[in-house]
Structure 1
């Protein structure tokens, strides 16, 4: 009997379910948001939030514990280097699930799960990135070279005419 057991098995065996949640957690940490079904998103939230809490305290023990769940060095590094400093002052609730409608093929209820502190739209108090202003204006040298290229064919035709005149004048001198 399963009285009081609220755990969603997601229609999978235990090993398949743990592999699924591990891979989804790695993708969420690396990409900051993923699209999935609502049921999987809710199961993922329960799976990943304790790992994010462990990520706040960077110790060898916590790194090994998180690695045991994620099985990805890149995801563990990303969690402890970039995600943990952003969520350090948050007491919980690191993820947000936004329902996005129904999937075309089987009408499954879809959702986007994301890390709350990495969304700039919903998080207006976040520090804005300072970007350098870049200009694509042409430099004076580039302008001169363009002008020279445009004038170059005109100069060639002008230079050819005097040469021809010079040749005529030399022939006239030779004829005299």
Structure 2
């Protein structure tokens, strides 16, 4: 069943990062296995060391992680008739499924986010606040624009939704009423 409301983490820099790691990998393979055609002979002695294998493994794992982020972006939030799914983490995404019976209130709130592009400016954005009953423990893992405020409530910046905040709240409230 396709969720009625879904937000996934998809970082546009993943493509650029993946390309950079790919070229680093090619450069390292040329350096390590093809005789270092572009490097001086004194670097060739360094290529047989343990550190070069560690560097190789770091490059390969970073490349695979960025490819994973491009191909299947991590779930941040999804809602359907069964309940709410909240993703915790970006690269290792643990999904917590919460039934609608555990959701108490869906309301409008505010979220404070830092903008590093403008010199660590903190701004306040409108957000959707979902409050759960005491049986739900969300922990503290989230992204900057979607995270738990406490162990029992979750806040999502309205900029992540395709629709206006009022429409998104109405849609979530309708799903809750339809399920209960």
* TM-score, structure 1 as length reference: 0.22
Comparing both chains, which one has the higher relative contact order based on Cα–Cα distances under 8 Å and sequence gaps of 6 or more? 1
Bigger helix share = 1
Bigger strand share = 2
| Structure with the greater alpha carbon radius of gyration | 1
* TM-score, structure 2 as length reference: 0.22
